[in-house]
Chain A
Amino acid sequence: MPALPLALDDIRVLDLAGEPGMYCGKLLAELGADVVKIEPPGGDPARHIEPFFHDEVDPDKSLYFFGLNSSKRSITLDIATADGQALFKRLLPTADVVVETFPPGYLESIGLGYDTLSQIKPDIIHCSITGFGQWGPHSHYQAPDIVAIAMSGMMYLAGFPGEAPDRPYGNQTNYCASIQATTGILMALLHRDATGEGQQVEVSMQEALLLNQETAVPYWDIRKDLRGRVGNERRLPGIGVYECQDGYAMLMVGVPGFGSPWPELMRWMADEGKAEDLLEERWKNLFAQLDMRLIAEIYFGTDAELVETWVPRLSHIDEVLVRFVKDYTKEHLYEEGQRRGLLVAPVNTPQDVVANPQLNHRRWFTPAEHHELATTITYAGPPYRFGETPWRIHRPPRIGEHNQEIYCGELGLSQEQLAALTDAGII
């Protein structure tokens, strides 16, 4: 039986990307493209970033690197040298896409800019990912993750009022910039398929992240309201993060109109004998009055008496809820809350995520054979599932693992030439 076709199995990508663009190559590879990672001799610097396999510091054992480079092949090449550039130009005609993250102007300065590349391969798609794009006053600014996150406005919204804003975990720029780049590349490929025309795809990490500000920009634009950090401000009982027996749970129960609101939560608390005085008639009437309009008046209105009456009531309800939640595990709150139609979620640790029954039922976590480590490693699974054209994952390459295959097998270098170029530090 012939192998199932893949969405991109006719596409080759030359992947020169550093950290912000690595996930792009991974996404393309796992859709079936042949992604050839081109590393400097000695290996990509990201191979030195922790955590490591069994904490063994080794450039072939970085889990950070593994997570962003699975399913690629690897060759080493010093493109700063004339010989390296010549070899790159020989590889280029076999490629459909080039992805890189060099500072603007660098590739031009070594004679590998888009103008040159498109003379050699006219329909090449050249994707550049940099902190601030190829042009503009900040285009030469240094932009590790935290800088892009800060300049994109999303950091300003994360954390507690009055305290330093929080950077999200895990270099989210890598994911957002690479996702935007992959989208651009696929659109450019569809355009190329239709017209034969290649082009440049430009990604600014800052721009790739801006959408993450949610409504902050429309709020400023339309209302001149500046959204800030709200921390764990629980304006309404039942909306926010609550401490529970083994960690935290997120409750989105108190919003009128979202999910089943208070009566079900009250039934739950009553069933457990923990509703305290909230079952009394006077509370029932008060709950019935709580709608969006009243809430808006309490928080944004000017009626001091209304505020004075309602704020202590809301605090009391919240205190009862705090006492209720703290006796249960997050898993119990999640399962039982959702069974009752309430919007509850556990604040999962990585250990919880890996044990998540839903993800495991769907066999989301995906093993990849690592024969070089004599083991199998379980990876984060597919971001999407296809009826046809399956997603697939393969372990990341070791440094220069495919030099022989590509330089000798494809470009026709002899063993002696490969050895000489390796000795010269070109490969």
Chain B
Amino acid sequence: MQANRLPLEGIRVADFCWFGAGPIYTESLANHGAQVIRVESQAHIDGLRVAHPMPEGKYTLNVSGYFNNYNASKLSFTLNMKHPKALDVALRLVAVSDIVTENYTPGTLEKWGLTYQKLQEVRPDIILVREPMQGSDGPHAEFSGFGAVISPLAGISHLSGSPDRVPVGLGTNYTDYVINPGHTIIATLAALRYRNRTGKGQLVEVAQVESSTCAVGTAILDQTVNDRSQNRQGNRLPHAAPHGAYRCQGDDRWCVIAVFSDDQWRAFCKAIGDPQWCREERFATLQSRKENEDELDRLVEGWTSPRTAEKVMETLQTAGVAAGVVQNARDVLENDSHLKERGYYVYLDHPEAGRTAYDGPGFRLGKTPGRLRPAPMLGEHTERVCKEVLQMDDEEMVQLVIDGVLF
């Protein structure tokens, strides 16, 4: 058996994705052994290559932390699809690929001549994975959008946050990072396994609005079954109290605490030194704690606010009570001893961006763990792909450069 074989070794991906959800998905394939060839162009720059953050005073196409963090382990191949000679090169790449991916507005690939039928002609068992916003058909298929509008559309914004506040969502393009890329990887791997078993490729479509709406499955059922349209409830849960984020010592420091059962409540009281109020009848059962939750939250915060969030967490977790620091980016990167010991963040040296942190895989395979290489610079691997993957001779390659095709 081959040592250090990765699970997707031997799989080649012609990756036409750009921006967030698409490239995040293909990075996971690349980290686990697939050869992922990002097809990019100077004429059609991926918006993330010009997005912040970039190192102070250094604004180039190769240093965006946003881009680099989602494109580790890939190759970058520049091909200007608007050039008439690009289609032939793209099809030659498809012919030697297992998977083609894209997340453009429906019709873009077709405009370039890359119809699914055409792909099948050059590679009969090709797997084409499309990640449109709304799906390829239907009244809103052409609607524009990106991650920021999915949370509102899918109901996530309406359902999250405080009921007396404007539904602003989660402060990020939430579904771009795990929900959509994750569902897309699953679909791709399923299609790959199906191909391995049957020899058949297929067209896979992950409409981002659909895949995101899966994440509010309970609210959907409450609506379809009980005709109840749920509203946001802040950090509270019907079957827990206290349950929320409590202010701690310092600027914008918080610790969450979650107490579900009466046993957990007793453990909580003991851990905080059994103050008088803990013994009051009005907090004795879950039901009574729910009835007096405003007062309960005030008293809990009275205990947390003179303490550091870390101390609150340690005190409670030592007693078996669920608690966690509301960590910020600095905490997760530099202060979280657990993440450090596990090495979740990986520091990689990049020729232009220097040494920066990358997210490691969100799951760990015991025998075949993923591994990361720094994100590619724009066009860094164009020559290598031409020679090693497309078997081009120097003359042809140079001509394509001169013609502005490999651009």
Decide if A and B are genuine partners: yes
- A172 proximal to B (CB < 8 A): yes
**CA–CA, A217 to B51, complex, Å?**
14
Query: Are A203 and B56 within 8 A (Cβ)?
Result: no
A175-B179, A219-B53, A338-B140 are contacts. A166–B229 as well, Cβ < 8 Å? no
A interface list, Cβ under 8 A from B: 5-8, 10, 27, 31, 49-51, 53-55, 63-64, 66-68, 132-133, 135-139, 141-144, 146-160, 162-170, 172, 175-176, 179-184, 186-191, 193-195, 197, 199-204, 206-223, 225-232, 240-241, 243, 247-250, 252, 259, 338, 341, 343, 345-354, 356-359, 361-362, 364-365, 377-389
CA distance A165 to B189 in the complex (A): 36
Query: What B residues does A201 contact at CB under 8 A?
Result: 363-366
Bound together, the chains give a CA A3 to CA B138 distance in angstroms of 29
Distance of A98 Cα from B158 Cα, bound (Å): 36
Kindly state whether residue B205 has any CB partner on chain A within 8 Å. Answer: yes
Contact B191 A7 (CB under 8 A): yes
Q: Which one of A50, A155, A389 contacts B256 once the chains associate, using CB atoms below 8 Å? A: A155
| Cβ–Cβ contact A228 & B252, under 8 A | yes
Q: Are B65 and A215 in contact (CB under 8 A)?
A: yes
Is B382 in the interface zone, CB < 8 Å from A?
A: no
B55 in contact (CB, < 8 A): yes
The reply to whether A64 and B356 form a contact with Cβ atoms under 8 Å apart is no
Contact indicator B138/A362 (Cβ below 8 Å): yes
Q: Are A351 and B152 in contact (CB under 8 A)?
A: no
* Residue of A with least CB distance to B176: A214
How many angstroms between the C-alpha atoms of A384 and B184 in the bound complex?
7
- B38 within 8 Å of A by Cβ? no
A7 x B193 contact (CB < 8 A): yes
> Is B91 engaged at the interface, CB distance under 8 Å to the other chain?
no
Considering the complex of A and B, which 9 residue pairs feature the smallest CB-CB distances, nearest first?
A218-B65, A179-B182, A169-B159, A184-B363, A200-B366, A147-B324, A345-B149, A384-B187, A142-B322
User: Which residue from chain B places its CB closest to the CB of A184 in the assembled complex?
Assistant: B363
Residue of B nearest to A381 (CB): B210
Looking at B230-238, B278-286, B390-398, the stretch in contact with chain A turns out to be: B230-238
Assembly CA distance A356 to B366 (angstroms): 43
Within 8 A of A (CB), among B289-317: 317
The answer, among A175, A214, A388, for a CB contact under 8 Å with B214, is A175
A305 to B183, CA, bound (A): 49
Q: Within 8 Å CB of A221, what residues of B?
A: 65, 329, 333, 356-357
Given contacts A190-B193, A358-B209, A377-B225, whether A197 and B367 have CB atoms under 8 Å apart is yes
Among candidates A216, A229, A232, A386, residue contacting B204 with C-beta atoms closer than 8 Å: A386
Given A183-B28, A221-B333, A189 and B193 contact (CB-CB distance below 8 Å): yes
Q: How far does the alpha carbon of A260 sit from the alpha carbon of B1 in the complex, in Å?
A: 56
State which residues 357-400 of B face A: CB under 8 Å: 357, 359-360, 362-368
Q: Which of A149, A200, A359 has the largest count of B CB atoms less than 10 A from its CB?
A: A359
Given A55-B226, A67-B221, A147 and B322 contact (CB-CB distance below 8 Å) = yes
**CB-based A-B contact count at 8 angstroms:** 504
B215 at the interface (CB under 8 A from A): yes
CB of A230 within 8 A of CB of B171, answer: yes
Q: 8 Å CB contacts to A: which residues of B340-369?
A: 341-342, 344-345, 353, 356-357, 359-360, 362-368
Contacts of A230 in B (CB 8 A): 171
User: Which A residue sits closest to B222, measured CB to CB?
Assistant: A51
Query: Which residues from A are CB-within-8-Å of B137?
Result: 361-362
State which of B203, B220, B225, B367 has its C-beta within 8 Å of the C-beta of A199: B367
- Where chain A touches its partner, the secondary structure class is mixed
Q: Which residue of A lies closest to B165 (CB)?
A: A160
The distance in angstroms between the C-alpha atoms of A55 and B156, with both chains bound, is: 23
A219 to B51 CA separation, bound complex (whole angstroms): 11
Q: How far apart are the CA atoms of A208 and B166 in the complex, in Å?
A: 28
Q: Give min CB distance, B365 to chain A, whole Å.
A: 6
Query: Smallest CB-CB separation from B178: which chain A residue?
Result: A176
Q: 9 A-B residue contacts at CB 8 Å?
A: A10-B197, A138-B317, A138-B338, A148-B324, A194-B5, A216-B329, A226-B328, A350-B159, A380-B214
Closest to B357 in A: A221
Which residues of the partner chain A approach B232 to less than 8 Å between Cβ atoms? 169
Closest-CB distance, A345 to chain B (whole angstroms): 4
Q: Which residues of chain B from 205 to 258 have a CB within 8 Å of any chain A CB?
A: 205-207, 209-211, 213-226, 228-232, 234-235, 238-239, 243-247, 252, 254-256, 258
Q: How many residues of B sit at the interface, in one of the four size bands? A: 35 or more
B158 in complex: contacting residue of A159, A175, A200, A349, CB < 8 Å: A349
What residue of chain B has the Cβ atom nearest to residue A5's Cβ? B198
Which one of B7, B172, B190, B360 has the greatest number of beta carbons of chain A within 10 Å?
Answer: B190
Q: Are A377 and B221 in contact (CB under 8 A)?
A: yes
User: B194, B213, B239: which contacts A49 (Cβ < 8 A)?
Assistant: B239
- Asked if A348 and B154 make an inter-chain contact with CB atoms under 8 angstroms apart, the answer reads yes
A218 engages B356 (CB within 8 Å): yes
The residue in A186, A249, A347 that gathers the most chain B C-beta atoms within 10 A of its C-beta is A347
- Give chain B residues whose Cβ lies under 8 Å from the Cβ of A159: 161-162, 165, 168, 171
Inter-chain contact A183/B145, CB cutoff 8 Å = no
Min C-beta distance of A332 to chain B, whole Å: 14
Tell me if A353 and B336 are in contact (CB < 8 A): no
Q: Is B239 within 8 A of A8, CB to CB? A: no
- Chain A residues near B337: list those with CB within 8 A: 137
Most-contacted residue by chain A among B2, B178, B206 (CB, 10 A): B178
Separation of A139 and B339 alpha carbons in the complex (Å):
10
Contacts of A361 in B (CB 8 A): 137-139
Interface residues of B in 6-58 (CB under 8 A from A): 7-8, 24, 28, 32, 51-56
Given A146-B243, A168-B174, decide whether A385 and B190 contact each other with a Cβ distance below 8 A: no
Residues of A within 8 A of B55 (CB): 222-223
Which one of A202, A220, A343 contacts B149 once the chains associate, using CB atoms below 8 Å? A343
Given contacts A182-B186, A212-B174, A338-B144, is CB(A248)–CB(B218) below 8 Å? no
6 additional contacts, CB 8 Å, given A170-B217, A191-B7, A248-B158? A154-B174, A252-B149, A351-B229, A380-B213, A383-B186, A386-B187
Complex alpha-carbon distance, A165 and B254, angstroms: 8
Which of A184, A241, A341 has the most chain B CB atoms inside 10 A of its CB? A184
Query: In the assembled complex, how far is the CB of residue A280 from the closest CB belonging to chain B, in whole angstroms?
Result: 29
Residues of chain A contacted by B149 (CB below 8 angstroms): 250, 252, 343, 345
Nearest Cβ on chain A to B274's Cβ, whole angstroms:
20
Give the nearest-CB partner of B327 in chain A.
A153
